[in-house]
Amino acid sequence: RYGHSSLNQIHQEIYAYAHGKQSEIEELKQLAKFRRQFLADVSHELKTPIFAAQGFVHTLLDGAIDDKNNRMKFLKKAAKNLDGLDMLVQDLLTVSHMEAGDITMQLEPVDICEEIYEIFDQMEENAHKHKVTLKTNHERSEEIKVLVDSQRIHQVLVNLITNAIKYSDEGGVVEVSVVDTGKRQNVIVKDRGIGIPTEHLNRIFERFYRVDKSRSRAIGGTGLGLSIVKHIVEAHDSEIKVVSTPGEGSTFSFELNKYKPQ
Ligand code: ADP
């Protein structure tokens, strides 16, 4: 087989083969490590709300149920933790489907303006509770058609706007704008909230990565919101971008394809 190869060439080929195997092994090792870490993270994230709910229910069973004042308080806390658990499991399923690559995209024409107003209507109460104002640069009646997976883009906007509200202080403003870039539509979610220090910017899209663990936990959230956003935006052949200044606010943006009727 090697009739025409020099010994040197043979050595080179064998070396390349062995080297290839070595990096395959390294890759598998890396993957296994990643899986173990993910499982550890998931278990930890699941345990937190389970332990809390368990604690409140057992306290009730141990007698707190007879205390009129505490009864409702503990039940509400147990319910809140169970709701959080439900959200976490839903997000985990979404992430695991996406990472396994089994997401089928259903592209259809969507009026992104209408979508934004619909989400504003849904979130009005939440924004009001946080004393945050929701704004957009378009009128309700305007029509801006993009070709996207409607449900998934809905989720991207919900996740980004929820974060923008959550990480704003009272009196904050969250502005969602759509800017025509010629080829595509640029969707921008801007807040004037707490901001993100530069050293954390490229890590916030990782699963369960939080800038301030205790603060994010207290505010609530699964820690998976932005990793879901990244997956969905990339499935639309786009990239999620973020610019942020601590104390001034954050701006997340991504581009979507225009819908052009034939
Ligand atoms: P979480 O459920 O913790 O909000 P996400 O994946 O949505 O999880 O976000 C990851 C982390 O990125 C958050 O814990 C927070 O530290 C930071 N973050 C996300 N959005 C914002 C924002 N608009 N302003 C400031 N920090 C943010």
pLDDT at 218: 81
Residue 10: band (very low, low, confident or very high) from pLDDT cuts 50, 70, 90: confident
The pLDDT tens digits for 86-95 are: 999 999 999 9
Query: Which residue, judged by its Cα, is nearest atom 20 of ligand 1?
Result: 163
**Does position 1 have pLDDT exceeding 70, yes or no?**
no
Q: In what order do the strands lie in the sheet with 173-180?
A: 133-136, 173-180, 184-191, 249-257, 241-245
Whether the pTM exceeds 0.95: the reply is no
The pLDDT tens digits for 248-261 are: 999 999 999 999 88
Within 10 angstroms of residue 85's Cβ, the number of other Cβ atoms is: 18
Rg (CA), the chain: 24
| Alpha-carbon gap, residue 87 to 159, rounded angstroms | 12
**Does position 31 have pLDDT exceeding 60, yes or no?**
yes
Query: Which residue, judged by its Cα, is nearest atom 25 of ligand 1?
Result: 195
pLDDT at 185: 98
| 94 Cβ inside 6 Å of ligand 1 | no
| 226 Cβ inside 6 Å of ligand 1 | yes
Q: What is the ipTM of this complex?
A: 0.98
**Does position 2 have pLDDT exceeding 80, yes or no?**
no
Task: Please report the atom of ligand 1 found closest to the CA of residue 212.
Answer: 16
Average model confidence (pLDDT) for the chain? 93
For a ligand 1 pocket test, name from 163, 228, 232, 248 the mutation site with the most ligand atoms within 8 angstroms of its C-beta. Answer: 163
| 172 Cβ inside 6 Å of ligand 1 | no
Average pLDDT over residues 239-247: 97
Q: What is the dihedral of CA 57, 62, 64, 67, to 10 degrees?
A: 140
Average pLDDT over residues 59-73: 92
For a ligand 1 pocket test, name from 216, 231, 251 the mutation site with the most ligand atoms within 8 angstroms of its C-beta. Answer: 216
Query: Which residue, judged by its Cα, is nearest atom 14 of ligand 1?
Result: 210
87 burial type by CB count under 10 A (0-12 exposed, 13-18 middle, 19+ buried): middle
**Does position 34 have pLDDT exceeding 80, yes or no?**
yes
pLDDT at 38: 87
pLDDT at 12: 85
**Does position 216 have pLDDT exceeding 70, yes or no?**
yes
Bridge partners, residue 49, by sequence: none
| Alpha-carbon gap, residue 97 to 94, rounded angstroms | 5
| 204 Cβ inside 6 Å of ligand 1 | yes
Question: Is the torsion defined by CA of 165, 167, 169, 174 positive or negative?
Answer: negative
Closest among 122, 116, 132 to 165, alpha carbons compared:
132
**Does position 221 have pLDDT exceeding 90, yes or no?**
no
Cα 246 to its chain centre, rounded Å, is 20
| Alpha-carbon gap, residue 158 to 94, rounded angstroms | 15
| 162 Cβ inside 6 Å of ligand 1 | no
The pLDDT tens digits for 179-194 are: 999 999 999 999 999 9
Within 10 angstroms of residue 105's Cβ, the number of other Cβ atoms is: 11
**Does position 214 have pLDDT exceeding 60, yes or no?**
yes
Q: Which two tokens stand for residue 250?
A: 């954050």
As separate numbers, helices (DSSP H) first and strands (DSSP E) second, the chain gives 6, 7
| Alpha-carbon gap, residue 160 to 149, rounded angstroms | 17
**What CA–CA distances, in Å, run from 131 to 7, 126, 168, 196, 214?**
76, 9, 9, 21, 22
**Does position 3 have pLDDT exceeding 70, yes or no?**
no
